[in-house]
Structure 1
Amino acid sequence: MELLNACKTTLKAVRWHLAPFATSKVWLSTKTSQLRDKNILLMGPPGAGKTTVGRIVARRLGLPIIDVDDDVLEKTWRMPVAAKLAAVGGERFLEEEGQALCNFSSVGSVVSLTGSNPLHAGAMQHIRQTGTVVYLDVDTEDIIQRLSRMKVNRIVGQEAGVSMRKILNYRKQFYEKWLDVRVLCGVGDTVEVIAEKVLKAVARYQNPEIETYISTRSTGKASSNNDITYFSDVVLEGLAADGGLYVPRHGFPKVGTHEWLRLANMSYPERALAILEKCIHPMDIPATDLRTMVFKAYGTNFASEAVAPVKHLIHNQYVQELFHGPTASFKDLALQLMPQLFAYCLPQMCNYLILVATSGDTGSAVLSGFSGLCDSDRQRTGVLVYFPEQGVSEIQKLQMTAYREGNARTISVYSDFDFCQRAIKRMFGESGMTGHLAVEYGTVLSTANSINWGRLLPQVVYHCSAYLDLFRDGVIKFGEPIDVCIPTGNFGNAMSALYAKQMGIPIRKVICASNHNRIITDFITTGECDLRGRPLIISHSPAIDILKSSNLERFIYHISGGDGHLVGDLFTRLEKEQYFRLPEPFLRKIQEDVLAGWCSEEDCLLAIQSVHKQSGYVMDTHTAVAKVVADRLQDGSCPVVVCSTAHYGKFASAVLKALLFQNIPKDPLDQLRELESFTSKPEMHKHLLKCLEERGSRAHTVCPADYNALVEEVETMIQDSFLNVA
C-alpha cells in the first residue's frame, strides 16, 4: 500500500504544481486577490463577442480590460488595424500582429485577443504563459449572422473565392490547439449568458477541489488533501479502498438546452469531447490532450463514420448500433478511450496490472484498447482477463485468446462471471496481497470493468448521442421524451443512461432487459436482491449472464441521497448473507426512473426471427432480449431506443438457429461466412471476420474455481511482465 500511496501523492504533487492559480472555493468573491499576476485571455473567431464579453467579465471581477486590437496593435502601429492590413497584406499582417503580441506584457487583466492571434505560434506561446486561455466556442451560423450584421464579409487570411464558413472551420484547429478552457456557447446564447459561462469556467479551472470523487460506502468528508480523490486517482484505483465504487462527489454537470442544440449537428467525436470536457477536470487531463485521445478513440477503428448510429427498426422503435468498434460490442465505446485515460494518469514510478472479469465482451475490448497504447505505456501496463470457460460464445473466446502480444493474458475459469468478479474484488480488498505486489514487484492492481469510473463515464456519451440523433433527424422535438431499453446484467450500461438523464437528456424511462437469470428484473420489481441458492444459468445472451450486479451500488447510493452507511450495510449483507431488501421508499424512487422485464430463451430466438422477417434486420441475442422486453413494457407514447450491444456475428450459432438454418456448421468461421452470405442489414463485421480468418492455435490456461489459483496467476503474470522492476 505504500507504493500505491506514493503514486497518489505524486499525482497530487504534479496536479498542484501545474495549477495556474492558487485554489480557493471562494474565488469569485475574492476577485483580484487570486488573479494577481495572471490574466484571463479570451480567444475565438471574429464575431465571437470577445470584446463585449470581456468588458462584462472585467466589470464583474473589477479588473482592467485590454482589447488587443485597440490597446496593443493600434498603439504599436499608430494606425487603425484595417489600414495596417490594407498596407501590408494578409500574410505580412499575421507576422507583424504576432510580433506585436510577443512584446505584450500585462498582469491581472481580462484580455480580448484578436481572431487571428492563434494563427501565430510564437505569440500564443508567449501570451499563454501570462494566464488562462478561454476559447469562446460559438456556433458557426451565429458567427456568420453577427459578421453579416456588422457588414464584415472578409477576415484575415480569407483568400478570394473562399467562403466565410470554410475559413472559420479552418481556424478551429488553431483555437483547439491553444485553449485551456472551452466555453461551449449554445445556439443563440447572448453575450451576458456567455460572460456568465466564462466566469464559471474560469472558477472551475482554478478549483480542482470542486470536482472530486467519493466512495459509495463513504460515511464522512475528506479530512485532508491526501484524502481528496480526483479523476486521475479513480481511473487508476478502479475500486475504492473500502470496497465501494467511486462517484462524483457533487453529481453530474447539467447541460443547457442551447448547448444540446449545438451538439446536435456535431460528429460523435465532437459530441464526446464536449461532454467529457464537462466531466473531466482540466487539471487531470488538459482539454488539448483530451481532444487527442477522443479523436483517436473514435476514428478509423470504427467501421461506421457515425460511430454509434441510430436506425429505425419497427414502428416507434429505434436501434442504436453500438457494435461498430474493433471487437464488435458496445464495450469498445468505452475501452477505446479508457486505456488512453489510464496511461495518461500513470505515475512514472509505478507499474499497473489491470484485472478484468468478463462475461464475454469486456475481455476482448480491454485487450484491444490497451494494445493500442504506445510501447512505453504498454511496458508499464499489464492486462489479465478472467472469463468463464463455459460461459461465453466460442467466437468471444477466440477473440480473447487471439491477443498474445505484450503484457496481455487471458485465463478461463471453471466457474461463472460472478465468481471471477468476486475474486478480483477480494484481491483489491486484501491489503497484505496488494502490499506484497507493490513492495516485491513495484506493481499496483487496477481494473477496467465498469466498476472503474473511467470505464463507465464514456458510455454516458452514446446515450446522449442517441437522443441528439433522433432530434437532428426530426423524429422528436428537443425536450420531448424517449425511453431507452438496455440488455443488462451488471447495470453499468443502464447506470450510464441514468447519468445521461442527470445531464439533461430527456430520458423518461430506462428499461432494463434481463434473460432468464433475471436478477435485475427481480430487484427492480421487488427491491430484493436474493442470491441464496440461485444458480447462474447459461443462456444465448452470455454477456448478461450475471447475478451480482456491481453498478446497482451506484444507483442505490444516488437514490438514497448519498447514504454511504446504508449502501455499505446492504452490500456487506449481500456478501455475508447473499440477500438484502431495499427500504420501500427507495424502491419507489427507483421505479420512477426504471422499468425491468425478462425474456426466455425461446422468445429471444423468436424475436430475431420475427424482426428479420418483417424488416430484414438481424439482431444479436442481447438486442433480441431488449426488443422482447421493450415490446412488453414500453407503452408506445414516445420513441424507444433499443441498445444493440453486440454484433450478431459474435453469437453466430444462436442467430443461425433463430433464423431456422439447417445443418449449422460447427466451425465459428464457417458460421460467420454462412451469415455473411445470408444477411445484409447490418453488414458482417469485418474486424470480427478477420480475427477468425487469421486465428492460429488458441490454447489458453484454464483454472479451477479456486481463489488461490487465480491469485497465483496474478503473481505469475507480474513476474513475467515486470520482473525487472523488483
Structure 2
Amino acid sequence: MLRVVWNRHLKLMTRTAVSDVYLKLIFSRSSVLAWKSWMSIHSLVGDKNIILMGPPGAGKTTVGKIVGQKLGCCFIDVDDDVLETAWNISVAEKLKDLGNEQFLEEEGKALLSLSVSGSVVSLTGSNPMHAASMAHMKKNGIVVYLDVPTQSIMDRLKLMKVDRIVGQGPGTSLRDILQFRKQFYKKWYDVRVLCENEITAEAVADKVLHAVKWHQNSEAEGFVSTRRPRYDEKDEQKSPTKYFSDAVVEGLAPDGGLFVPELGLPKFSAGEWQTLLGTTYAERAQTILEKCIHPADLPASKLWEMVEIAYGQNFACSKIAPVRHLTGNQFLLELFHGPTASFKDLALQLMPHLFAYCIPQTCNYVILVATSGDTGSAVLDGFSRLKETDKQRIAVMTFFPDDGVSQIQKSQMIGCQEANAKTVGVKSDFDFCQSAIKQMFTNSDYTGFLTMEYGTALSAANSINWARLLPQVVYHASAYLDLVEQKVIPFGSPIDICVPTGNFGNILTAMYAKLMGIPIRKCICASNQNNVLTEFIKTGLYDLRGRRLMQSLSPAIDILKSSNLERHLHLIANSDGQLVTELFSCLENQHCYQLREELLEKLQQDLVADWCSEEDCLGAIHSVFNTTGYILDTHTAVAKVVADRLQDKTCPVVISSTAHYSKFAPAILQALRIGEIKQTPLSQLHLLNSYNPLPPVHRGLLETLKKNEKQNYQACAADVNVLMDHVEALIQNRFMKVF
C-alpha cells in the first residue's frame, strides 16, 4: 500500500520540492523515514535495483542486507523471499526432488515473476545459468558480481557444511562446478567487486556502493590531452570532455598531444591483486582492463568477448606471457608467443576489436601506423582477424623505414597485406615515418578533404593510441603475479623491470602497473647506440642537435623521438599541459629541451637507464646461449646487458623479452659464430632450427615466410605529400566516394 501512495505522489513532486513538513502531513513518522530512504537509493540508481550475483558462499545475503541498511531500502533474498515462499519447501529439498536441469528451469520461472524497483536483490548462485530470468532482472537492475577466489568459496562452503550445489553430480567436483559457473557470471555482470581473503562484509558492502556509484557516473571518466592547459572551472573555453571511445577512435588529440585519463589509473589493493593469483592471463586482462574502461564505453560482457578472442587460440603458449628463469635472480618475460612473434601482439590482438566497437557506424576509418619493425606486422595481423563487416569500413596503412628493419620483419609485413591492409617502405628512418603521420593527423585541410570526399577519418594503432598502450599494463602485472605463484617472492616484495625501449611505451606501462599497485621498485630503461633516452634520464637534457639515427642490430628501438615519454612527463609534471607543450615545442624548434631540477628528481625516482653497444649485444647472445642453451633476440640482449650493469641483486629483475630471435636470424647467426649464413630469411630459420635451440624457432613466423617469400611491396621517397597520396590511393580502392 505504501508503494502505491509513493508512486502517486512522485507524479506531483520533485525531490527538491518535498519537505519533511509536507511529508508529515501525508505519512506517519515511519512512512517519512521510508520515503527518505527510498529517495536515497533513487538518487543512486533511480528506479533500478542493485542485484548481487556470485557463487554460493560469496556473501551475497550478508552483504545485501548491509547495503540495504546503508541505503535504507528493501532487501530481497531470492532463496528465502522468492523461492521458498513460492514453493513452501526449502531450496535443498526442491533440488533433491527435481534434479539439476528441472530445478534450474523452475528457479528461473520463479525469478521471472519478481517485479521490484529501488531494492537490493541477492540472487542465488545458480540464477545466472537461466538466461531469460537474468535478462528480466538486468532490464531493471545493475548487476554486481561478488568475485571471491575459488579456494575461499571452497573453504566457506566446507564451514557451512554444503556438500552439493546446483549442477553438481556424480563425477563432478565442487571446484569444477564453481569454475564452470564463471562463464555465466561473466555474461551478466555490470560491475565486479573483488573480494579478497579476510575482507569483512561491511567492507564488501562499501565496495558495492562505490562500484555502483562509479557505474552511474560515466561523466567522471574523461580523457585529456597531455598538452591541454589548465582551465579554471568557470572558463568557457574549456574543451569538451573526451571519453575512452573518443581516445580510441581519434588516436591523437587535436592539439597534437596524447590522450591520458584525467583522473589517472585505478589502484588495486594488495588483497585485490592477490585474488588474481592462480587465474589465467585472459582473466587478469579482463579484471585489470574493466577497471580502466568505463562500462558506458564498453560493457564488461563485451570486453570479455574481445579478451577471449584475443588471448584464446592466437598464442603458441597457453600462458600467453610466461615468465622463465634465466640465471641468478634474472627472469625473462616472454612476450613473443603471439602470431607475429613480438610483444606488440599482446596489445594488437585486442586493440582492433576495441577500435571496431568504438567507431561510429556512419564513417570509414584508415589506421595509420609508423613502425620500426614489429608494430607493422602485428597491426596487419590483428586487424585481419576482424569480422568481415568490420573490415569493410576499416583499412590499415603501415609505413616503415625501408632500410631500417630486418629482412624477416620486412617479409613478414609484406606477407600480411590484404585488400584493406597495405604496407609501404619509406626511404628514411622511423622518426620521419612517425612525424609524417602526426603531420597528417594535424593537417585539417587533408583530414577535412578525406572526410568530405570519402566519408573517411584517420586514426592510429601505434602506442600513441591509448587502446594500444593500455593492454600492455597487463603483462607487467601478470609477470609479478607469476613470480609470486612460483614462490620466487612473497606478495609485497619488490622487483625491478628492465625493458629495451625506444618509443618509451613498453616501459611506461610498467610504471603504470606500479601506479596501480604492483610492487615494482625500479624500471630500468635499456637503449642501444641510439641512446637519447639514457642520456635524458641521467641528465634531464633531451638533445637531438647534430644527432643522427644509427641503424643497429636491434632496429625496433632505433628511435630518437620517444612519443610516449610525453605521457610520463605529463604525469610527473602534475598534469601541467602548458609545460609539456613548451618542452615539445622546444624539441621541435630547437631540437632539445632541459627538465627543471625538481622534475628530473621525480623522473629518477622510478627510472634508471643505460645503453648497450653492438659488440656487447652480440656478446650477451653468445654468452647466454653457451651457459644456458637459450637464445636471446637482439633487443632482449640489450636489456640483459643493461640489467647486468644496473641491478643491485637485492631483488629479482624481470627482463622484457620483446621479440623472438627468429625475426633477427642474421644477427643471431653472427652472435653464435655460425660461419655459413644463408641468404634468404627462410633458409636462415631452417639453419637455426637445425641447432635445436631453446626456445624453438617460431612456427608461425616460419609458416608465414614459406607462404610469402616472393611477394612485392612499394617503397617511396621521404615526402609527406607522397605518403598522403598512398593513403588516398588505399581509400580510393577500398571506400566509395561520398556524393
State the TM-score bracket (shorter-chain normalisation): over 0.9
1:701 aligns with 2:718: no
SS at 1:306 equivalent: coil
Equivalent in 332, 336, 342 of residue 355 of structure 2: 342
1:459, 1:704 → 2: CA distance? 33
**8 Å contact kept, 1:320–1:642:** yes
Residues 535 and 28 of structure 1, relative CA distance in 2, 3 Å threshold:
farther
User: 1:223-272, CA deviations, whole angstroms, 9 ceiling, x for partnerless residues?
Assistant: 69981111111011100001100111111111111121111211111111
Aligned partner of 2:415 among 394, 402, 407: 402
The code of the aligned residue for 1:195 comes to A
Cα deviation, residue 99, structure 1: 0.9
Contact 1:32 1:61 in 2 (8 A): no
- The Cα of 1:605 is off from its aligned counterpart by 0.3
Alignment partner, residue 58 of structure 1:
68
Q: Could you tell me which residue of structure 2 aligns to residue 647 of structure 1? A: 660
How far off is 1:120 after superposition? 1.4
User: What are the within-5 Å matches in structure 2 for residues 370-389 of structure 1?
Assistant: 370-389=383-402
* TM-score, length-scaled by structure 2: 0.93
Match of 1:122 in 2: 132
Tell me which residue corresponds to 1:102.
112
Q: Which residue of the partner structure matches residue 422 of structure 1?
A: 435
Deviations 1:519-550 (A, max 9, x none): 11011011111111211000000000000001
Aligned partners of 1:325 and 1:89: how far apart in 2?
Answer: 44
- Is the partner of 1:263 in helix, strand or coil? coil
388 and 28 in structure 1: CA distance in 2 versus 1, 3 angstrom threshold: farther
Residue 102 of structure 2 corresponds to which residue in structure 1? 92
Equivalent residue for 2:194, pick from 169, 180, 184: 184
Q: What letter corresponds to residue 715 of structure 1 in structure 2?
A: E
Q: Which has the larger radius of gyration?
A: 2
Q: Which residue of 1 aligns with 2:218?
A: 208
SS of the equivalent of 1:167 reads: helix
The residue type paired with residue 121 of structure 1 is A
Q: Please say if residues 378 and 406 of structure 1, whose CA atoms lie closer than 8 Å, have aligned partners that are also in contact.
A: no
Match of 2:323 in 1: 310
- Matched position secondary structure for 1:694: helix
376-385 or 130-139: which moved more? 130-139
Q: Is the 8 A contact 2:44 2:213 kept in 1?
A: no
Bigger mean CA deviation after superposition, 528-537 or 647-656: 528-537
Deviates more, 1:695-704 or 1:656-665: 695-704
Residue 663 of structure 1 and its aligned partner are, at CA, apart by: 2.1
- Residue 505 (structure 2) aligns with: 492
How many angstroms apart in 2 are the aligned matches of 1:684 and 1:360?
19
In the alignment, is residue 586 of structure 1 matched against residue 599 of structure 2?
A: yes
> Does 2:692 correspond to 1:682?
no
Aligned to 2:123: 113
Counterparts of 1:129-528 in structure 2 under 5 Å?
129-220=139-230, 227-528=240-541
Give the partner amino acid of 1:510.
C
Deviation for aligned residue 1:190: 2.4
Map 1:633-644 onto structure 2 (within 5 A).
633-644=646-657
Q: For 2:166 and 2:401, how far apart are their aligned partners in 1?
A: 62
Q: How much does 1:30 deviate?
A: 5.2
Match of 2:612 in 1: 599
Q: 1:533 aligns with which of 546, 560, 566?
A: 546
| Bigger mean CA offset, 356-365 vs 661-670 | 661-670
Tell me if the contact between 1:28 and 1:203 (Cα under 8 Å) persists in the aligned partners. no
Amino acid in structure 2 at the alignment position of 1:331: K
* Counterpart contact for 1:488–1:514, Cα < 8 Å: yes
Shift of 1:86: 3.6
| Identical columns (%) | 60
Q: What amino acid maps onto 2:722 in structure 1?
A: A
Q: Distance in 2 between matches of 1:522 and 1:648?
A: 28
By how many angstroms is 1:571 displaced? 0.5
1:32 aligns with 2:45: no
Shift of 1:37: 1.6
- Using the alignment, how far apart are the partners of 1:375 and 1:574 within structure 2? 42
Is the CA contact (8 Å cut-off) linking 2:252 and 2:464 kept in structure 1?
yes
Q: Equivalents in 2 of 1:601, 1:264: separation in Å?
A: 39
Could you say which residue in structure 1 is the equivalent of 2:621? 608
Amino acid at match of 2:622: Q
Quote the residue 2:733 is aligned against.
720
- 3-state SS of 2:333 partner: strand
Counterpart selection for 2:669 from 631, 656, 661: 656
Q: Secondary structure at the match of 2:428?
A: coil
Q: Tell me, in whole angstroms, the C-alpha distance in 1 between the residues paired with 2:692 and 2:373.
A: 24
Which whole-Å deviations, capped at 9, do the CAs of 1:431-482 have from their partners, x for residues lacking one?
A: 1111111111100000000011000000000000111111110101111111
Amino acid in the other structure paired with 2:136: H
Distance 2:628 2:382 in 1: 34
Give distance in 2, aligned partners of 1:150 and 1:534.
Answer: 70
Letter of the structure 2 residue corresponding to residue 193 of structure 1: A
Q: How does 1:551-562 map to 2 (within 5 A)?
A: 551-562=564-575
Q: Distance in 2 between matches of 1:185 and 1:226?
A: 38
State the 1:97 CA deviation.
1.5
Q: Secondary structure at the match of 1:723?
A: coil
Higher mean C-alpha deviation, range 139-148 or range 651-660: 139-148
1:119 Cα deviation after fit: 1.6
* Higher mean C-alpha displacement, 100-109 vs 79-88: 79-88
Give the CA deviation at 1:32. 2.5
Q: Secondary structure at the match of 2:616?
A: helix
Deviations 1:488-531 (A, max 9, x none): 00000010000000000111110000000101101101111111
Query: How many residues align structurally?
Result: 700
Please tell me the residue identity of whatever aligns with 1:562.
S
User: Match for residue 54 of structure 2?
Assistant: 44
Residues 265-315 of structure 1 show CA distances to partners (whole Å, capped at 9, x for unaligned) of: 111111111111111111111111101111111122101111111111111
Deviation at 1:92, TM superposition (A): 2.4
Q: Normalising by structure 1, what TM-score?
A: 0.94
Q: 1:298 to 1:701 in 2, by over 3 A?
A: same
Task: Report if aligned partners of 2:144, 2:192 keep a CA contact under 8 Å in 1.
Answer: yes
Q: Is the 8 A contact 1:43 1:136 kept in 2?
A: yes
Contact 2:40/2:72, CA 8 A, preserved across alignment? no
Query: Deviation string for 1:409-437 (max 9, x for gaps)?
Result: 10111100000000000111111111111
Deviations 1:315-345 (A, max 9, x none): 1111111000000000000000000100011
Measure how far apart 1:723 and its partner are.
2.3
1:12: which partner in 2?
none
Q: Is the 8 A contact 1:604 1:628 kept in 2?
A: yes
Distance 2:77 2:423 in 1: 59
